[in-house]
């Protein structure tokens, strides 16, 4: 097995395309664990952390561009990003421990495609897109479209995610992410709920996106849940309707981390709690 | 916080203080050498091919391609072990069946758990060893497997062995025990209140952070050395020699520092294999388990089903109890029902009782000792039932226990009268603790539970010798798993009446000290401490007689005070230990003593824990908000380390109660063989663990020491469950109390 | 499988070694450089026993490939004490009895130092969440947290009197 640290996108693409068992490496916190367990045996590891666009976050077109290989903890240092998208930053900074977060990245979290990935429901709720680099050049794709199933993406041979794009923020908008875990840290989400919403000056919800993790083969947007909030001031009846929509969208499994019944019940609980936080942030936002 | 018993208080200068441990500097600088940190020139790395099946016959093993791989120097299977008739070796709290232990090192004709070792290789690098495993071909005939107790007991269950209980028809039951007195059925029928239920716990791992590791080196003349992480070098020597057919005398075992054991390292999984590989290759072989291998193939503490009924009068006197225990002991009978049957009701005076227990085998790793083995499960159910009785009677739960607690002079399990035990003192200390009467916040619940453990004595040897400069060495054969070497130095220093810095404790290897039973059973500070004290006392007598010789007086005229000899008659200047040491050669030669002990008078100890939890009714989450561990310790030689035992045991019990459990996949393999999904408590899960040490000294130990290491894991299971029950207003019977389980109970009818 | 030649700075000293590309930083530190203070407890980033600092950031060395440290700066537990003088954290751990078997201790010390380098005023909750990635099975964390908080207090005092 060989290790490569390309310094240009073209070089990275060429290396990735050169063999079927080449794997991109970002933070490595999933890759190394899977190599160690024998689940994957790459013939070549292409470390993208050396690519300039792959690390760091910056404003662009009113929104943000985040290098896919930016460590989660670095996101905490971007004050503008934390102010505009606290839910996304919090979601990324729930992954693992401090040690893990100093290496893990949202690009890697996304492309590892665990149904329970923490950053993904927040990214989907934020309507994030990703820039995919590959033999055919660069293309921009909604984050949700990258996910094909547990552990599988729609990336083609030689492709990798280079950047994550967050759109321009509407005024009076806020996002939040919460997850259910058995302990207080270090667990994989049993259920994850990402919510992003905007309201008008009177607190009436004008737009809302609710996304769930760990309750289906991929993280998913629940359009009916967002729709249930629009035009309301998040009264009990609206939140109930949102909760029912969220539960109806769940297709969870029983596994060593949670049961079907518990996941369905908690999807509504955590979506409600995340909605409350997002709403408060939206009302306090400029 | 330590409460001193004024009657037992001695004038002590070292014992009871909190000096920095002698091995501390190396441990905080990364210098201390644990099993995996040891390297020898020419060393090979070993690796193990494990069964992918939970239950299968081994039809054939073909290692030729592996042996041909460049860099592979040796291959081993069970055929390399001589067939041993099922001899059993005493290993502290449990005997080790040599034939079964051999099969857990390398399987013979059957595999009975997924992950059981089948073939081992030694190669010049870990990468080559791993590649060699891929080249080994094993043919299996897969058999149906069974995991759960109820499934293993069914008439049509697949059988793991045909020889477990020769007097019975083949089944998956490995042992049956019963202990009874009086007429419990009648007592329960006549009781004013009865409480009980069917309680369950799951298999839990000791969770030591250091995986097993060893290096074996066999020389051309058949002499061999092992360096390993273990709770007992002598046990390693005995069992490894027996399994490999070596002469005991040819094997020398040096214990390295150990990264946690809790009972799990009181047997061997690697050493016999490393010996064979080293003998065959002619080179040292290092073997280290991965975390995955630790979970899939080393002994957990058993899961259990406990059915309990307890009856009481309306005044709160417990009149009758019936307890049935079934333990899930894994593929080979391991740590099982014996201690559970003994401990279930042993804290209380109940005239009419029947306790039955059985060991049920199933296709999972064989259980092994885990801190007070088998007692936490049994006492958990009893303490929950007693909590129910207190609730039904509207009685304070500590007061109810005080009414029924065993007292000095009561009959113990063996029938002999109990000595000056301190259960009542421990209950009293808990009752007056501010935690017990602190106001409770909303959605909080408080639970208390008691627990006890018998504690062991066991064989120990200690050697004390004086160096030319008057400093001393105290050597024992007990690996230090919790700070015991500091305590040995402190006790020797106390007897020699010198500062602790003048006494160097060492943990000796099997060739350098007389026999010692392993470190476990809460026995080391007690029994090995006795040996240390006896050896130090002998040395003091020798020092006095040398002084007498120097002064030309009778030995009876010499007193030993503050590290010096003082002449009681005449006006001789005192002789300090260094002065006597400087003249050792001229007054008779070296001054040293080695003493062996085998005390049979270890005393049981008791603990009472108070736990407050906060319950999130919507999600089922439990947060431990406040925790106090009150424990009866005899005398705390080094209070920080005794507090540490109370805190560490409490947290293991909290983990057992809340989130720890083995999960199995459909194929019968361990589904969570790692720290991600085997969920032990992390720092953010817990509050401070306040401790109270109650000192009622042991009358027969020179410093009053009683065993402290194991009892603290017993109360937390019920303390947490009782707290959750109080917060929820419903009884919880099944551990672990994961949020999903709690949520399900909260939302179920009834 | 051909080895790579890696050059880095470890505990202030230039080092170089050969290793397979798949070798973790942890195994390179232990097997090639014989710095065995960092421990393997799990190999999967769940226990923190392998914690080191990489270019000033706290990481699990079992999750870093050795080739990644080319030209970079690593600090391990062996670098905590300076010129034979224990770091205040190390001394406090000894004074408090904040270790029993000592196996998790190197990782905990490196992680705790990373915390105190960021802030000398951590609350108990902050300290606990920061150290959530370091498993300890012996102590129940009580004395560890007390030692860390007391070290922080001592460092605050020093800054006041400085």
Judge whether residue A149 has pLDDT over 90: yes
**Tell me, what's the pLDDT at B7?**
37
Judge whether residue B640 has pLDDT over 80: yes
Q: What's the pLDDT tens digit per position in B519-558?
A: 988 899 999 999 999 999 999 999 999 999 999 999 999 9
Whole-angstrom distance, CA of residue B69 vs CA of residue B64: 9
Query: In this structure, are C74 and C12 located in the same domain?
Result: yes
**Tell me, what's the pLDDT at B516?**
92
CB contact, 8 Å: A2 with chain B? no
User: Which residue, C21, C49, C79, sits at the end of a domain?
Assistant: C79
Model confidence band, residue B5 (pLDDT cutoffs 50, 70, 90):
very low
Q: Looking at beta carbons, which residues of chain B come within 8 Å of C137?
A: 206-209, 260, 262, 648, 652, 680
CB contact, 8 Å: A184 with chain B? yes
C7-30: average pLDDT: 97
User: Which residue, C55, C79, C103, sits at the end of a domain?
Assistant: C79
Closest CA–CA distance from residue C104 to any residue of chain B (Å): 7
**Tell me, what's the pLDDT at B341?**
97
Query: In this structure, are C99 and C152 located in the same domain?
Result: yes
B204-227: average pLDDT: 98
Q: What's the pLDDT tens digit per position in B127-138?
A: 999 999 999 999
* DSSP state letter for B152: H
Query: In this structure, are C70 and C103 located in the same domain?
Result: no
Instruction: Calculate ∠ Cα B491-C150-B711, nearest 5°.
Output: 45
Domain tally for chain C? 2
In terms of C-beta density within 10 A (0-12 exposed, 13-18 middle, 19 or more buried), how is residue B618 classed?
middle
Query: In this structure, are C43 and C67 located in the same domain?
Result: yes
Q: Which domain holds residue C67?
A: 4-79
Closest CA to B324 of B217, B445, B436, B179: B179
CB contact, 8 Å: C142 with chain B? yes
Q: What's the pLDDT tens digit per position in C119-160?
A: 999 999 999 999 999 999 999 999 999 999 999 999 999 988
Instruction: Calculate ∠ Cα C123-C139-B678, nearest 5°.
Output: 95
**Tell me, what's the pLDDT at B4?**
45
- Residue A89, token pair as written in the block: 């930053």
Name the pTM for this structure. Answer: 0.97
Closest CA to B21 of B632, B637, B595: B637
**Quick count: other Cβ atoms within 10 Å of Cβ B25?**
17
Judge whether residue B719 has pLDDT over 60: yes
B-interface mutation test, from C113, C133, C138, most B Cβ less than 10 A away: C138
Mapping DSSP to helix (H, G, I), strand (E, B) and coil, where does residue A122 land? helix
**Tell me, what's the pLDDT at A286?**
66
**What CATH architecture applies to the domain A2-48+55-166?**
2-Layer Sandwich (3.30)
Q: What's the pLDDT tens digit per position in B437-494?
A: 999 999 999 999 999 999 999 999 999 999 999 999 999 999 998 889 999 999 999 9
**Edge-to-edge strand ranges of the sheet holding A22-25:** A2-4, A44-47, A22-25
Query: Which residue from C minimizes the CA distance to B293?
Result: C42
Q: Is the ipTM of this complex over 0.95?
A: yes
Model confidence band, residue B92 (pLDDT cutoffs 50, 70, 90):
low
**Tell me, what's the pLDDT at B6?**
38
**Tell me, what's the pLDDT at B191?**
98
Closest CA–CA distance from residue C37 to any residue of chain B (Å): 4
Host H or E run for residue B437: helix B434-437
Q: What's the pLDDT tens digit per position in A80-133?
A: 999 999 999 999 999 999 999 999 999 999 999 999 999 999 999 999 999 999
Query: Which residue from B minimizes the CA distance to C23?
Result: B127
Judge whether residue A259 has pLDDT over 80: yes
Mapping DSSP to helix (H, G, I), strand (E, B) and coil, where does residue B501 land? helix
Average pLDDT, chain B: 95
**Tell me, what's the pLDDT at B543?**
97
Delimit the domains of chain A by residue range.
Answer: 2-48+55-166, 173-284
User: Which residue, C29, C59, C79, sits at the end of a domain?
Assistant: C79
Residues linked to residue B204 through DSSP beta bridges, in sequence order: B301
The pair phi, psi for residue B464, each rounded to 5°, is -120, 130
B618-626: average pLDDT: 98
B627-652: average pLDDT: 97
* DSSP state letter for C95: H
The pair phi, psi for residue B215, each rounded to 5°, is -130, 130
Query: In this structure, are C10 and C73 located in the same domain?
Result: yes
Q: What's the pLDDT tens digit per position in A42-94?
A: 999 999 999 999 999 999 999 999 999 999 999 999 999 999 999 999 999 99
Model confidence band, residue B88 (pLDDT cutoffs 50, 70, 90):
confident
| Nearest-by-Cβ selection for C139 from B32, B211, B648 | B648
Please name the residue ranges forming H helices in chain A. 9-17, 31-37, 72-75, 79-84, 86-92, 98-101, 106-112, 119-125, 223-229, 236-249, 260-284
Domain A173-284 classification at class level: alpha beta
**Tell me, what's the pLDDT at C161?**
84
Q: What's the pLDDT tens digit per position in B592-615?
A: 999 999 999 999 999 999 999 999
CATH 3.30.365.10 residue window(s) in chain B: 1-9+417-455+603-750, 457-597
Judge whether residue B85 has pLDDT over 90: no
**Tell me, what's the pLDDT at B3?**
47
Q: Hey, which CATH number is domain B457-597, 3.40.50.2300, 3.30.565.10, 3.30.365.10, 3.40.50.300?
A: 3.30.365.10
| Angle subtended by helix axes C142-161 and C88-96, to nearest 10 | 140
Please indicate whether, in this complex, the C-beta atoms of A97 and C21 are within 8 angstroms of each other.
Answer: no
B-interface mutation test, from A37, A98, A189, A262, most B Cβ less than 10 A away: A262
Q: For residue C74, how many C-alpha atoms fall within 13 Å in the half-sphere facing its CB? A: 32
In terms of C-beta density within 10 A (0-12 exposed, 13-18 middle, 19 or more buried), how is residue B418 classed?
middle
What percent of chain B shows pLDDT beyond 70? 98
* DSSP state letter for C32: I
CB contact, 8 Å: C20 with chain B? yes
Q: Can you say how many angstroms the Cα of residue B68 is from the centroid of all Cα atoms in its chain?
A: 43
Q: Hey, which CATH number is domain B1-9+417-455+603-750, 3.40.50.1950, 3.30.365.10, 3.40.50.150, 3.40.367.20?
A: 3.30.365.10
Judge whether residue B624 has pLDDT over 60: yes
Closest CA–CA distance from residue A5 to any residue of chain B (Å): 23
């Amino acid at each position: 097995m060989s290790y490569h640290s390309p310094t240009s996108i073209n070089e990275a693409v060429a290396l990735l395309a050169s063999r079927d068992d080449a794997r991109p490496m970002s933070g490595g916190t999933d890759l190394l664990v899977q190599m160690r367990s024998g689940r994957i045996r790459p013939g070549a590891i292409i470390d993208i952390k050396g690519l300039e666009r792959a690390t760091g976050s910056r404003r662009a077109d009113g929104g943000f561009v985040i290098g896919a290989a930016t460590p989660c903890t670095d996101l905490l240092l971007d004050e503008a990003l934390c102010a505009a998208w606290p839910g996304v930053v919090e979601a990324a900074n729930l992954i693992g421990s401090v040690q893990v977060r100093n290496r893990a990245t949202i690009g890697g979290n996304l492309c590892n495609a665990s149904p329970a990935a923490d950053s993904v429901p927040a990214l989907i709720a934020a309507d994030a897109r990703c820039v995919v680099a590959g033999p055919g050049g660069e293309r921009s794709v909604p984050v949700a479209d990258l996910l094909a199933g547990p552990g599988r993406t729609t990336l083609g041979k030689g492709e990798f995610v280079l950047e994550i794009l967050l759109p321009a923020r509407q005024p009076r908008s806020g996002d939040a992410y919460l997850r259910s875990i058995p302990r207080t840290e270090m667990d994989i989400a049993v259920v994850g709920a990402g919510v992003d919403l905007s309201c008008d000056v009177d607190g009436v919800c004008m737009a809302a996106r609710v996304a769930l993790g760990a309750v289906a083969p991929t993280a998913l947007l629940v359009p009916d849940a967002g729709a249930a909030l629009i035009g309301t001031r998040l009264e009990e009846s609206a939140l109930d309707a949102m909760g029912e929509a969220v539960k109806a969208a769940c297709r969870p499994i029983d596994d060593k981390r949670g049961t079907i019944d518990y996941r369905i019940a908690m999807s509504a609980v955590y979506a409600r709690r995340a909605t409350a936080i997002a709403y408060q942030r939206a009302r306090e936002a400029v | 916080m330590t409460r001193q018993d004024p009657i037992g208080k001695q004038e002590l200068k070292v014992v009871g203080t909190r000096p920095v441990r002698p091995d501390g500097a190396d441990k905080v600088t990364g210098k201390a050498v644990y099993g995996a940190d040891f390297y020898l020139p020419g060393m090979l790395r070993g690796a193990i091919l494990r069964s992918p099946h939970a239950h299968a016959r081994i039809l054939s093993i073909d290692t030729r391609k592996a042996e041909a791989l460049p860099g592979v120097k040796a291959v081993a299977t069970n055929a390399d072990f001589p067939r041993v008739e099922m001899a059993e070796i005493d290993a502290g709290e449990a005997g080790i069946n040599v034939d079964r232990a051999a099969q857990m090192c390398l399987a013979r004709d059957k595999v009975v758990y997924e992950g059981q070792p089948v073939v081992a290789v030694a190669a010049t690098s870990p990468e080559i060893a791993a590649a060699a495993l891929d080249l080994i071909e094993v043919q299996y005939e897969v058999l149906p497997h069974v995991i759960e107790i109820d499934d293993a007991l069914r008439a049509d269950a697949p059988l793991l062995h045909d020889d477990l209980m020769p007097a019975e028809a083949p089944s998956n039951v490995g042992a049956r025990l019963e202990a009874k007195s009086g007429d419990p059925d009648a007592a329960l029928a006549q009781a004013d209140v009865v409480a009980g239920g069917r309680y369950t716990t799951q298999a839990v791992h000791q969770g030591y952070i250091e995986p097993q590791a060893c290096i074996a080196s066999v020389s051309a003349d058949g002499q061999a050395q092992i360096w390993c992480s273990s709770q007992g070098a002598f046990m390693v020597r005995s069992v490894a020699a027996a399994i490999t057919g070596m002469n005991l005398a040819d094997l020398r075992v040096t214990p390295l520092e150990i990264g946690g054991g809790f009972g799990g390292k009181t047997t061997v999984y690697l050493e016999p294999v490393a010996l064979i590989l080293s003998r065959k290759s002619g080179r040292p072989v290092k073997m280290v388990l991965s975390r995955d291998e630790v979970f899939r193939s080393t002994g957990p503490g058993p899961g259990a089903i406990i059915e309990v009924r307890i009856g009481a009068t309306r005044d709160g006197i417990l009149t009758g109890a019936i307890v049935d225990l079934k333990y899930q002991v894994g593929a080979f009978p391991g740590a099982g029902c014996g201690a559970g049957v003994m401990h279930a009701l042993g804290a209380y005076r109940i005239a009419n009782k029947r306790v039955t227990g059985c060991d049920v085998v199933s296709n999972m790793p064989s259980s092994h000792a885990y801190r007070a083995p088998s007692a936490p499960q049994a006492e958990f159910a009893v303490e929950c039932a007693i909590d129910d009785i207190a609730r039904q009677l509207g009685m304070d739960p500590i007061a109810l226990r005080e009414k029924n607690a065993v007292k000095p002079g009561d009959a113990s399990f063996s029938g002999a009268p109990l000595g000056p035990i301190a259960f009542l003192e421990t209950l009293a200390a808990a009752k007056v603790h501010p935690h017990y009467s602190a106001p409770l916040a909303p959605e909080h619940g408080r639970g208390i539970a008691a627990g006890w453990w018998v504690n062991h004595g066991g064989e120990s040897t200690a050697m004390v010798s004086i160096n030319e400069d008057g400093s001393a060495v105290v050597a024992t054969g007990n690996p230090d798993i919790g700070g015991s070497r500091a305590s040995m130095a402190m006790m020797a220093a106390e007897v020699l009446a010198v500062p602790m810095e003048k006494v160097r404790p060492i943990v000796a290897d099997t060739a350098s000290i007389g026999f010692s039973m392993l470190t476990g059973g809460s026995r080391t500070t007690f029994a090995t401490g006795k040996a240390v004290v006896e050896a130090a006392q002998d040395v003091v007598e020798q020092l006095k007689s040398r002084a007498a010789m120097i002064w030309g007086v009778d030995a009876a005229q010499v007193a030993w005070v503050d590290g010096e000899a003082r002449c009681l008659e005449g006006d001789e200047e005192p002789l300090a230990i260094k002065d006597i040491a400087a003249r050792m050669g001229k007054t008779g030669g070296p001054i040293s003593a080695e003493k062996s002990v085998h005390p049979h008078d270890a005393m049981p100890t008791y603990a009472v824990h108070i736990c407050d939890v906060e319950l999130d009714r919507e999600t089922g989450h439990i947060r431990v908000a406040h925790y106090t561990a009150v424990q009866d310790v005899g005398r705390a030689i080094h209070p920080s380390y005794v507090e540490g035992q109370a805190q560490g045991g409490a947290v293991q019990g909290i983990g057992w109660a809340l989130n720890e459990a083995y999960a199995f996949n459909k194929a019968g393999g361990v589904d969570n063989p790692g720290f991600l999904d085997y969920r032990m408590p992390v720092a953010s899960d817990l509050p401070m663990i306040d401790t109270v040490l109650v000192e009622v000294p042991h009358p027969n130990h020179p410093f009053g020491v009683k065993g402290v290491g194991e009892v603290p894991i017993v109360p937390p299971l019920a303390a947490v469950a009782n707290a959750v029950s109080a917060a929820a207003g419903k009884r919880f019977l099944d551990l672990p109390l994961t949020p999903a389980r709690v949520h399900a109970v909260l939302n179920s009818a009834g | 499988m051909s080895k790579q030649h890696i050059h880095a700075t470890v505990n202030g000293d230039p080092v170089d070694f050969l290793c397979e590309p798949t070798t973790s930083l942890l195994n390179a530190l232990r097997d090639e450089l014989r710095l065995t203070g960092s421990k393997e407890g799990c190999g999967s980033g769940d226990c923190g026993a392998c914690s080191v600092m990489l270019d000033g950031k706290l990481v699990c060395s079992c999750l870093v490939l050795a080739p990644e440290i080319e030209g970079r700066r690593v600090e391990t537990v062996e670098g905590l004490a300076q010129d034979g003088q224990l770091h205040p954290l190390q001394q406090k751990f000894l004074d408090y009895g904040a270790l029993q078997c000592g196996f998790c201790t190197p990782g905990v010390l490196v992680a705790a130092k990373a915390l105190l380098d960021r802030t000398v005023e951590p609350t108990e909750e902050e300290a606990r969440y920061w150290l959530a990635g370091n498993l300890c099975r012996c102590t129940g964390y009580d004395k560890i947290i007390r030692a860390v908080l007391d070290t922080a207090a001592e460092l605050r005092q020093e800054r006041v009197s400085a």
